[in-house]
Amino acid sequence: MAASTPTSRGALTCGWTAVFLLVLTAVLFAVAGPGHRTGLLSLNTAFLVFTVGALGAVLSLVLGVIGTVWNLRSGSRALAGGSLLATIVGLGLTINLVSWFLAAQAVPAIHDISTDTDDPPAFVALLALRADADNPPEHPGVEVAALQREAYPDLRSLRLAATPQTVFAASLQVAHELGWEIVAEMPTEGRIEATDTTRYFGFRDDVVIRIEAQNGETVLDIRSKSRVGMSDVGVNAARIRAFRERLLQLI
């Protein structure tokens, strides 16, 4: 009986550590994104906090598994439930992190997506808001355009039978529905500019929509560009797809 005491203490320590790491992970994730979104943390600091949180999630999973088995085998059932909770939540967090990493690896490291890569819609009203952005407002050129066409071959100009006025009104409605902040709406020019803010880190991505009449059709092009970061992890393409899907439902 005496020989089992150190094992029980070790099992308890492992269980408590798993639970502590789970709580620490939750706190770090709660601080990283919102901290940057509210301006309390710089981008580098927010990413550092997030990275430590990600490491904590993996460690809570590993120690949770060990703690659960160890507590049950040693007869120290007091923390078996806590260790199991750390295992389940840590597994969920780890799966999400791995999924995000794989998604990032599956797309090119670009952050400027346009349905017209030969003549991308230009930012006008948004130029002032992008003055301090890491990524310049100009399209990065033919190399990025080629990478986009290979990764997102479905993102092309929309050719619609509706009038430019109808398409403009519907586009503006969709932009509002998606929660974008409208910066400019110029119906006579067929141009809408807006900013979309990501939920977690609060990254601000800019969107410009161009609507033109061509040969009896209305041609709509949309461009979405991140202000910071080398890779958008597919966010800009997903934003354009969401806009296009909703617009086609209205027209």
- Residue 62: predicted pLDDT: 95
Question: CA of 137: how far to CAs of 5, 41, 156, 207, 231, in Å?
Answer: 65, 25, 21, 11, 16
What is the Cα–Cα distance from 164 to 45, expressed in whole angstroms?
45
**36 and 117 part of one domain:** no
Domain match, 176 and 75 both? no
Domain end, chosen from 80, 106, 132, is at 106
Is 233 found in the same domain as 144? yes
Are residue 122 and residue 96 in the same domain, yes or no?
A: no
Residues 41 and 162 in one domain: no
**CA atoms of 236 and 163, how far apart (whole Å):** 27
The candidate with the shortest Cα–Cα distance to 145, out of 118, 107, 171, 163, is 118
pTM: 0.84
Strands 191-197 and 217-226: unpaired
Looking at the fold, whether 124 and 218 belong to one and the same domain comes out as: yes
Q: Say if residue 52 is in the same domain as residue 100.
A: yes
d(CA 20, CA 18): 5
Query: In the prediction, which pLDDT does 74 show?
Result: 76
Nearest alpha carbon to residue 34 among 228, 203, 202: 202
- Three-state SS letters, 126-190: HHCCCCCCCCCCCCCCHHHHHHHHHHCCCCCCEEECCCHHHHHHHHHHHHHHCCCEEEEEECCCC
Angle, CA of 63, 67 and 69, to the nearest 5° = 125
Which amino acid, residue 245? E
**Domain region containing 163:** 112-250
Residues 69 and 137 in one domain: no
Q: Check whether residue 84 and residue 116 sit in a common domain.
A: no
d(CA 53, CA 93): 10
Tens-place pLDDT, residues 71-88: 888 766 667 888 889 999
Same domain, 153 and 102: no
Please enumerate, as own/partner, the contacts of 187-190 that have beta carbons within 8 Å and a separation of 24 or more: 190/164
- Does one domain contain both 23 and 90? yes
Residue where a domain stops, chosen among 106, 127, 153? 106
Q: Is 82 within 8 Å of 64 (Cβ atoms)?
A: no
Q: What are phi and psi of 181, to 5 degrees?
A: -90, 110
For 178-199, the pLDDT digits (tens) are 999 999 999 999 999 999 999 9
CA distances from 214 to 84, 164, 172, 202, 221 (A): 62, 10, 20, 37, 12
If one counts the domains in the chain, the total is 2
Report pLDDT digits (tens) over 127-171: 999 999 999 999 999 999 999 999 999 999 999 999 999 999 999
Q: Are 139 and 44 part of one and the same domain?
A: no
The CA-atom distances, in angstroms, between 245 and each of 75, 175, 187, 219 are 57, 12, 22, 16
Q: pLDDT for 204-246, tens place per residue?
A: 999 999 999 999 999 999 999 999 989 999 999 999 999 999 9
The answer on pLDDT for 104 being more than 90 is no
Q: Which CATH number characterizes residue 224's domain?
A: 3.30.310.80
Domain end among 106, 129, 154: 106
Helix (H) or strand (E) holding 240: helix 235-250
pLDDT at position 73, please?
Answer: 82
pLDDT digits (tens, 9 = 90+) for 202-214: 999 999 999 999 9
